């Protein structure tokens, strides 16, 4: 009797643990699927857009930021985050949350296309997810894919003619920062700490290729698994003679690193990857000011003092969205620029998705408009040509941390180098 109970107890525990593992891979994030989805949509009169964004893991705020971006664009057209009218057609959304891994993105994008029957997929957030979605796009030529914020270089070099990215890749985001770090800041040796996946490879690769070309030296790399929360050991690896530390971490990982750097008394200047010192990290409760102030970084997010009326309009509209951060994060900006580009395309063709969405795709290829972060146009790979910003973290009013502009680069084009994990200089 006892033996029997124990055996079943063990079986149940293993089954349960298995389920947890399964959920960790492809969790049914409950924030998704709260709109649309009624099977009786009126066919050609309704455009159904499937939205992919992260709702779990270290980028769990992604879904909130995606909805804020969609809210801003739809409210400007009299609609809401649940739908509205664009180009004379009814538009509705199906939201699906992921956990930021390629496995969960693949499951959810298939669900959107094959079960929900969406016309257009909009998303995803993270780099690994983006690579999975591009591969899927290659197998479903009838659906148009508009990227959310995934930024590995390779995504627009795969030849998927139904895939559009209306923002820069992660190597483009670092443009100018390597020179600035070496020449203006005078950093000769930099130690690199970055997450071990596609986005930081390109992001760090873009930075270090420029930094090394200027004459800089990399005195060590730590590639840490995504979701690492304990940085005590990593912090102890930083060599004493390094001039600065490159932090290629994002979301919760960046916040943990910064707060533990303060506790451990690390006083090296930091160079941030494009999502290391963004508003999501700076607005958290953790005590990171001491580590974060003076950090330089590059990316598509302008500093608070960026002078552009379209930017002010966007920031004001963003602030009215539920769960908005003190200022828009990189994710809401990229999702907004991409989504607005898509809506402009739909309006251009008056909602006509006929002929295998050919007209819509031509319109998207010809995209050219002044976004809140500068002009967006497209190259022949359906990859945007955009403006890029170098910014520095500073203490703002009342001790809050803000980003101030250092310089901006106009009309940045994509390169062709795809970076992989590297030791030393890429």
Name the site residues for another protein (rule: CB under 8 A): 2-3, 5-6, 8-9, 11-13, 15-17, 19-21, 23-24, 28-31, 54-64, 99, 196, 222-225, 227-230, 232-234, 236-237, 251-252, 255-256, 259-260, 262-265, 280, 283-287, 323, 325
- What is the Cα–Cα distance from 392 to 195, expressed in whole angstroms? 22
- What is the Cα–Cα distance from 25 to 27, expressed in whole angstroms? 6
Least spacing, CB of residue 179 vs another protein, in Å: 30
Least spacing, CB of residue 125 vs another protein, in Å: 11
Nearer to another protein, 163 or 246 (CB): 246
Nearer to another protein, 16 or 356 (CB): 16
Nearer to another protein, 99 or 392 (CB): 99
Least spacing, CB of residue 285 vs another protein, in Å: 5
Beta strands in 198-354 (DSSP E): 217-224, 244-248, 270-272, 296-299
Nearer to another protein, 285 or 355 (CB): 285
- What is the Cα–Cα distance from 8 to 277, expressed in whole angstroms? 49
Tokens of 270: 């930091």
**Contact by Cβ (8 Å): 76, 321:** no
Nearer to another protein, 259 or 402 (CB): 259
Nearer to another protein, 43 or 322 (CB): 322
Nearer to another protein, 134 or 255 (CB): 255
Identify which of 30, 221, 50 has the alpha carbon closest to the alpha carbon of residue 122.
50
- What is the Cα–Cα distance from 299 to 52, expressed in whole angstroms? 22
Maximum distance among all Cα pairs of the chain, rounded to whole angstroms: 76
Q: In the chain, count of helices (H) and strands (E)? A: 13, 15
Least spacing, CB of residue 334 vs another protein, in Å: 17
Least spacing, CB of residue 23 vs another protein, in Å: 7
**DSSP label at 301?**
P
Least spacing, CB of residue 256 vs another protein, in Å: 5
SS3 80: strand
**Contact by Cβ (8 Å): 146, 121:** yes
* Conformational region of residue 80, where left means phi above 0, alpha means psi within -120 to 50, and beta covers everything else: beta
Nearer to another protein, 12 or 213 (CB): 12
Least spacing, CB of residue 93 vs another protein, in Å: 19
Q: How far is Cα of residue 111 from the mean position of the Cα atoms in its chain?
A: 21
* Conformational region of residue 245, where left means phi above 0, alpha means psi within -120 to 50, and beta covers everything else: beta
Alpha helices for 111-156 (secondary structure H): 127-139
Least spacing, CB of residue 358 vs another protein, in Å: 38
Nearer to another protein, 30 or 354 (CB): 30
Least spacing, CB of residue 186 vs another protein, in Å: 27
**Contact by Cβ (8 Å): 322, 195:** no
Nearer to another protein, 182 or 197 (CB): 197
Q: Which residues of 203-226 are buried (b: 16+ CB within 10 A; e: fewer)?
A: bbbbbbbbbbeeebebbbbbbbeb
SS3 235: helix
Cis preceding linkage at 134, omega within 30? no
Least spacing, CB of residue 332 vs another protein, in Å: 13
């Amino acid at each position: 009797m006892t033996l029997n109970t124990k055996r079943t107890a063990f079986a149940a525990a293993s089954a349960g643990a298995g389920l947890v593992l399964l959920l960790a891979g492809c969790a049914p994030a409950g924030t998704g699927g709260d709109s649309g989805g009624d099977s009786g949509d009126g066919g050609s009169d309704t455009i159904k857009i499937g939205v992919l964004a992260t709702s779990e893991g270290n980028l769990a705020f992604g879904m909130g930021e995606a909805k804020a971006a969609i809210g801003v664009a739809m409210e400007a057209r009299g609609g809401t985050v649940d739908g509205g009218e664009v180009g004379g057609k009814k538009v509705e959304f199906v939201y699906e949350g992921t956990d930021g891994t390629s496995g969960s993105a693949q499951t959810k994008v298939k669900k959107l296309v094959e079960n929900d029957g969406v016309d257009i997929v909009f998303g995803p957030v993270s780099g690994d997810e983006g690579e999975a979605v591009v591969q899927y796009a290659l197998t479903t030529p009838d659906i148009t894919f508009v990227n959310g914020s995934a930024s590995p270089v390779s995504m627009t070099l795969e030849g998927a003619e139904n895939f559009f990215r209306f923002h820069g890749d992660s190597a483009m985001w670092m443009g100018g920062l390597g020179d600035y770090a070496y020449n203006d800041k005078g950093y000769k040796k930099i130690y690199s700490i970055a997450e071990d996946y596609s986005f930081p490879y390109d992001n760090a690769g873009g930075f270090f290729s420029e930094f090394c070309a200027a004459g800089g030296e990399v005195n060590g790399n730590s590639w840490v698994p995504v979701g690492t929360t304990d940085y005590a050991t990593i912090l102890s690896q930083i060599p004493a003679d390094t001039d600065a530390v490159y932090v290629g971490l994002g979301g919760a990982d960046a916040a943990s690193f910064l707060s533990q750097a303060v506790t451990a008394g690390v006083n090296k200047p930091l160079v941030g990857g494009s999502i290391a010192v963004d508003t999501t990290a700076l607005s958290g409760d953790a005590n990171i000011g001491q580590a974060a102030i003076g950090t330089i970084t590059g990316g598509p997010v302008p500093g608070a003092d960026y002078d552009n009326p379209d930017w002010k309009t966007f920031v004001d509209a963003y602030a009215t969205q539920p769960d908005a951060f003190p200022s828009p994060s990189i994710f809401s900006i990229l999702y907004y620029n991409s989504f607005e580009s898509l809506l402009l395309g739909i309006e251009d063709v008056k909602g006509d998705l006929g002929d295998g969405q050919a007209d819509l795709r031509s319109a998207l290829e010809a995209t050219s408009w002044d976004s809140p972060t500068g002009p967006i146009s497209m190259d022949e790979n359906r990859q945007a040509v955009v403006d890029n910003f170098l910014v520095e973290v500073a203490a703002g009013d009342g001790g809050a941390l803000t980003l101030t502009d250092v310089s901006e680069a106009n009309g940045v084009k994509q390169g062709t180098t795809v970076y992989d994990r590297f030791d030393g200089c890429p």
